[in-house]
Amino acid sequence: MTTADVAGLNEALVAASATAPLAVLADADPAVTALADAIAPGRDRADDVRLADAASALRLVKDAWEVGQIRTAAAATLAGFEDVRDRLPRIVGHPRGERVVEGVFWARARELGNDVGYDTIAAAGEHACRLHWSDDDGPVRPGDLLLLDAGVELDSLYTADVTRTIPVSGRFTPAQRQVYDAVLAAAGPGVPFRALHEAAVASVVHTADEVEAWVAGRWPGR
């Protein structure tokens, strides 16, 4: 914030604290929280918690403009994913292909929005098994799976968040397809996240046993 911004905020907080409880979103900006504490050192921190709860509840309901922003962010994100898909043949030849994936998506985010909404996860091969891999410094090899978790942030700061598993060579191998379908089968509209997670884990464990048998040439019926 500029000096003028701080001065204006200071005046507003002083005026507000004289007539009503002073509450801030404590984790949003440490400088604002410190300023509120300086102006009203005896203020009740429980008001911060109540404000955070109220703000979280408000986020559950979107008006038409907000829905439009989210849809626009999602459409821009889809365009970024399509860019990555179309560039995969060139990306495969780069020693740090994951970084190229990140750059391709970032270019679309800067063209259609403000920036990426969070650090892009471009995880190929063994990196796809590491939670929240965002170093993005490994190769993208033919036959790999690419886990791409990315989102475009608009100037309004509304952001999409999309995760997809992409076969680098254009098609899943039989083993990859079976694991992918096992996870997909656990999903469905209205399924609570915890139930989805538990079902996906159980399905993957079961399918992994079958895939191991298939790879070892011990597929049932063969």
Contact of 124 with 168, CB cutoff 8 Å: yes
Q: Is the pLDDT of residue 98 over 80?
A: yes
The owner of tokens 């700061």 is 157
Q: Is the pLDDT of residue 217 over 70?
A: no
CA dihedral 105, 107, 108, 110 (to 10 degrees): 120
The neighbour count for residue 164, using CB atoms within 10 Å, is 13
CA distance from start to end of the chain? 69
Q: How many residues does the chain have?
A: 222
Q: Which helix (H) or strand (E) holds 97?
A: helix 97-112
Q: Write down the pLDDT at residue 19.
A: 65
Which of the pair, 11 or 218, is modelled with greater confidence? 11
Q: Is the pLDDT of residue 190 over 90?
A: no
Q: Write down the pLDDT at residue 159.
A: 97
* Digit-coded pLDDT (tens) for 104-119: 999 999 999 999 999 9
What percentage of the chain reaches a pLDDT higher than 90?
52
**Nearest residue to 108 (alpha-carbon basis) of 148, 81, 145:** 81
Q: Write down the pLDDT at residue 221.
A: 47
Q: Write down the pLDDT at residue 144.
A: 94
Q: Write down the pLDDT at residue 222.
A: 41
Residues 113-127, mean pLDDT to the nearest whole number = 96
Residues 168-175, mean pLDDT to the nearest whole number = 92
Residues 130-144, mean pLDDT to the nearest whole number = 93
Q: Is the pLDDT of residue 200 over 80?
A: no
**Angle of the 97-112 helix axis to the 64-91 helix axis, nearest 10:** 150
Q: Is the pLDDT of residue 94 over 90?
A: yes
Q: Write down the pLDDT at residue 184.
A: 78
Ordered by start, the domain boundaries in the chain are: 3-58, 64-169, 172-222
Q: Write down the pLDDT at residue 17.
A: 62
Both tokens of 156, joined, read 């309004």
Q: Write down the pLDDT at residue 29.
A: 87
Q: Is the pLDDT of residue 7 over 80?
A: no
Topology adopted by domain 64-169? Creatine Amidinohydrolase (3.90.230)
* Digit-coded pLDDT (tens) for 41-66: 888 889 999 999 998 898 889 999 99
